[in-house]
Structure 1
Amino acid sequence: MTEREEDLELRLRRCREEVDREIERLLEEDSGIPERLRDAMGYSLRAGGKRLRPFLCIAAAELSGCPAEPVLPMAVALEMFHTASLIHDDLPCMDDDPLRRGKPSNHMVFGEGLATLAGDALLLWAFETAISKLLPVFPAERILGAIGEFAKAIGPSGVCAGQVLDTDPSSRESEDDFVWRIASLKTGALIRASVLAGGILGGLEDVKIEALYNYGTHLGLAFQVVDDILDVTGKPEQMGKTPGKDSVQGKVTFVSTYGLEKARRIARDESVKAIDSLSCFGQEADPLRSLARVLLDRSS
């Protein structure tokens, strides 16, 4: 492991710890949540995960010298929505997966009804958390910009659109273009919004925001291609979810469209494009560059 990779691992671990502490504090702080709903929300929030999206948000904000602490509510909000999307994704009416992050999926523990409500609650709690905690710290126009990118990424032309294309066979187009569109919406939109939200809150100028847009776009594509590869090559104990589901469900993936070897080449190409997008930054962007490199070697 190189010095930069060691530094990245340290930063990722520190981010996970900060996000986990803030999640615990928020779960304990809000006394208005019914206990059973709190249990269901907390079950999935506490299930672990890479906390990749919070890290991207914080790392992007730090490009302007902004410290991590004031950006933490936005980072946590991104993780809240991501967790909500996983709860909904695992439901029988969606991907029907009984396993998530090495544990029974939310609906396997709490039932489909409460799992659905837990996901809904986390989605809305994300906005409440971001707005209420950011307002005392950042200018309103920056908050509106960050929240606007977040909302656009997860709405009917973002994550929701990607989920429809992924699960509804009648929505499918020519496979070659289609797989890129799914990836850019279902996975890429939130990853892109994570770096954009951080950059906007940090007050970066437009040319650097555009660079982050391109970085997030290519990183999101690389992430999804690797995810498709792991669905074929991964092991349940490493992935924390059921491998081989895409093939069983007849889903269009980069592997089914291009084959395993070309999919690996696409992942590498997108990683390089992500790194090249950051040419207007100096060493302050090295954590983002390192992330794009190590992403190719992930096992979960």
Structure 2
Amino acid sequence: MLKSYLNENKAFVEKNIEKYLSELTYPKEISEGMKYSILNGGKRIRPILLFMILELLGEKKELGIPSAVALEMIHSYSLVHDDLPALDNDDYRRGKLTTHKKFGEAEGILIGDALLTHAFNILSEKNKGLIDSDKIVEIIGKTSSYSGINGMIGGQLVDIKSEGKIVDLNTLKYIHENKTGKLLKLPIEIACIIGDASNEVRKNLEEYADLLGLAFQIKDDILDIEGDFESLGKPIGSDIELKKSTYPSLIGLEESKKLLSEIVLRAKSKILDNFDKKDSKNLVKLAEYIANRNK
């Protein structure tokens, strides 16, 4: 069952997040803020994807622990900063006060900074003895690229600059591929680096990751219209309030749902056509889960 697999691996990565964060104690406002921000009910899709690919490649998931924790730190930092008044100005995240509302705005900025920078400390220090040094360097390079101007940050800026404007589908695609897609593609690429995947295997898995990232964002766009605070843990309609370009705003809600179904079908086919069905069944189910989630 996918649900039990997700729950088991969610608990596994959170145990290791707590372990690494327990090493940080001072300044207390920063260490406590980091724990508050990252241990607040996230789905842990990114580290779970990393574990899934490692298992597909016949590797132990323990080899991916430092990278999995670092991924969640980078993802959490992006959410902390997204919630700030200068960006989305949100008061709640997953049903709890956002970090800057809990600790203060200046503290929120620094907590986000600490999550980002400590992620690279984990990648460089905690991977020693687990994987080869050349793989560590490659992982750090890929992570910095995908979380920076050539990835998440680039997508976030174009997203901000597009507020209140009518953008074309190519611009929207750029926003989604970079703001959301790159950090969903990253765990798959990291697992391929650790597991010495062939070029053909990498290509197929990266194409699956691209489709998964797009499906994830389209579903987010739909949930911002059809979701509810109890499930999402944050106000509904923020995209409309901020006049953000989304798939529903450009092509309509029903067409967005149809596109989501098509993308998920393509993602499933990419796996089923290229990998053993037994070994890759969770990747197929994950695509379905993303399309059917309510938060």
Q: What range is the shorter-chain TM-score in? A: over 0.9
**Which whole-Å deviations, capped at 9, do the CAs of 1:100-150 have from their partners, x for residues lacking one?**
011010010111111111111101111111221112111222222222222
Aligned residue for 2:23?
Answer: 29
Aligned residue for 2:13?
Answer: 19
Letter in 1 for 2:214: L
Structure 2 CA distance for aligned equivalents of residues 215 and 272 of structure 1: 11
- Gaps in structure 1 of 5+ consecutive residues: 1-5
Aligned residue for 1:68?
Answer: 61
**Which whole-Å deviations, capped at 9, do the CAs of 1:15-40 have from their partners, x for residues lacking one?**
11111111111121234x31111111
Root mean square deviation of aligned Cα:
1.5
How many pairs align?
A: 293
Helix, strand or coil: the match of 1:81? Answer: helix
Within the candidate set 150, 153, 157, 2:146 is matched to 153
Q: Contact 2:164–2:242 (CA<8 Å) still a contact in 1?
A: no
Structure 1 position 136 matched with structure 2 position 129: yes
The percentage of aligned residue pairs carrying the same residue is 35
1:268 deviates by 1.2
Letter in 1 for 2:5: R
Within the candidate set 164, 174, 183, 1:190 is matched to 183
Structure 1 position 41 matched with structure 2 position 39: no
Structure 1 position 259 matched with structure 2 position 252: yes
Would the alpha carbon gap of residues 232 and 173 (structure 1) be closer, same or farther in structure 2, given more than 3 Å must change?
Answer: closer
| TM norm structure 1 | 0.94
Would the alpha carbon gap of residues 257 and 140 (structure 1) be closer, same or farther in structure 2, given more than 3 Å must change?
Answer: same
1:272 deviates by 1.6
Within the candidate set 278, 287, 291, 1:296 is matched to 291
Q: Contact 1:172–1:178 (CA<8 Å) still a contact in 2?
A: no
Aligned residue for 1:91?
Answer: 84
Structure 2 CA distance for aligned equivalents of residues 162 and 280 of structure 1: 30
Helix, strand or coil: the match of 2:290? Answer: helix
1:245 deviates by 0.3
1:172 deviates by 6.4
| TM norm structure 2 | 0.95
Letter in 1 for 2:83: D
Structure 2 CA distance for aligned equivalents of residues 128 and 267 of structure 1: 37
Would the alpha carbon gap of residues 172 and 191 (structure 1) be closer, same or farther in structure 2, given more than 3 Å must change?
Answer: farther
Structure 2 CA distance for aligned equivalents of residues 113 and 174 of structure 1: 33
